Amino acid sequence: MTLTDSFNLAFKTVRGNRLRTGITVAIIAFGIMALIGIITAIQAMNQSLRESFSSMGANAFVIKYKESRIRFGRDQGVKKSARGVKNKVSNLDKNIRREDAVYFKQNYAYPSIVSVYMRGPGNMECNYGDKKTNPVVTVWGGDENYLTVNGFTVADGRNLNSLDVESGRNVCLLGSNVAAKLFGDHPETAVDHIIKVGGIPYRVIGVLKSKGSSGLLRQDDIVVTSYNSARRLANASPSYFIGVMVDNVAMLDPAIGAATAQFRGIRKLLPTDADNFTIEKSDKFAELFITFLSSITGAAAAIGIITLIGAAIGLMNIMLVSVNERTREVGLIKAIGGKRKNVRQQFLFESMIISLLGAIFGIILGVLVGNIFSMVLKTGFVVPWLWVSIGILICSLVGFAAGLYPAIKAAKLNPIVALRYE
């Protein structure tokens, strides 16, 4: 009896017991679907977060008056500087003034593009005639370099110019979602029309290309005006940001060093003083959230493995029942010359075929379910090939482990007793 004969017998047995096979395959498939589905969704979220948070590009950084307060651990009240000086976080809360930001822009000598901007009020409502947006619009006040440094592109109209910034006149650019909501299928017609942002009239000078949105960022629900205009709005941030973009990634660290030295002078810090501002690379938040999501990957793996352990126990029970049902068949195989290893091979093949069928269906379902998030987040189709390979390997091990004891038990049957078994 060859290895091929054992496999063919195992396959015929699996195909002949469709109900039992189907139930077992479904149990295993749900376990793999949970694992692959969650991993696929997490990879789609990772891709969306990288695109959203790294919108300025890998060759940009921003100077803020304090570190952005997005943390996943316990918030510490003491911050330790590189020089070993401890400062309370509250001591860092010194706003960046407009004069300081503009002075930095005018005197920063490192080859780069520098933008001064500020965050205006959020959750604003924009109106044009009888049409209005949902109250989710954020106003940003920038300068002529704001769009370049933050990765925006003008689709129609023009960018802000120095006269717009200096005069602080009420002109603005609309994010693609805002333009589509107010001007329907022809957002380009928004140019030169007057809209109201929080009840204040603004003339539209441009419409931005879509950057896409995630659950964490709404990059197309924005209105961009000059910082001299935005600072007059209620609830505008009292502190300014300074965005710096260099030509390539290799220039980033030297540019940060030069910016730190110059801004310490502007803030009138002594050599022994800790920095009372922070510099953040554009991909900081992407890495922060992706690190957080990696912990969810571990939880997803635990869920899948627990489910597969249950499936393995169920598969082992079914194989033990199968041994009892086919005792006479085992006796017949031994009577015509089959050896113990042939019986073991047949039962192991059966177990692994069932397990791998579960893996195939589970992987397909998991990828499809996980890519629902890709459709929602508008990212590309994601296939976690590494975890697909791991899933197949795990199911192979589950099939082998679940079938090993029943196979050994069947192989040890006495052929004479087995042939007389009723």
Delimit the domains of the chain by residue range.
3-52+288-419, 56-282
**Ranges in the chain, pLDDT < 50:** 70-91, 215-216
What local confidence, expressed as pLDDT, does residue 83 receive? Answer: 47
Structure confidence at residue 79 (pLDDT): 44
Per-residue confidence (pLDDT) for residue 75, from 0 to 100: 44
pTM, two decimal places: 0.60
pLDDT for 310: 77
Q: Which residues, 6+ apart, have CB-to-CB distance to 82 below 8 Å?
A: none
CA dihedral over 372, 374, 378, 382, signed as positive or negative: negative
What type of residue sits at position 271?
P
**Nearest 5 degrees, angle CA 54-CA 55-CA 58?**
50
3-state secondary structure of 342: helix
The H or E element that residue 200 is part of is strand 200-208
| C-alpha to C-alpha distance for 382 and 249, rounded to whole angstroms | 27
State the number of CA atoms in the 13 A half-sphere of 10 facing the CB: 23
Tokens describing residue 176? 């693609």
What is the model's pLDDT at position 312? 76
**Greatest pairwise CA separation for the chain in angstroms:** 103
Nearest in space to 38 (alpha carbons), one of 371, 284, 273: 371
Phi, psi of 224, deg, nearest 5: -110, 125
- Among residues 157, 222, 168, which one has the least CA distance to residue 191? 157
| Residue 342 structure tokens | 């042939």
Cβ(398)–Cβ(315) below 8 Å: yes
Q: Is the separation of the CB atoms in 182 and 243 below 8 Å?
A: no
d(CA 341, CA 35): 34
pLDDT at residue number 288: 63
Q: Using one digit for the tens of pLDDT, what is the confidence trace for 17-60?
A: 788 778 888 878 887 887 788 888 777 777 766 665 555 566 88
pLDDT at 242: 95
- What is the spatial distance between Cα 170 and Cα 141, in angstroms, rounded to a whole number? 11
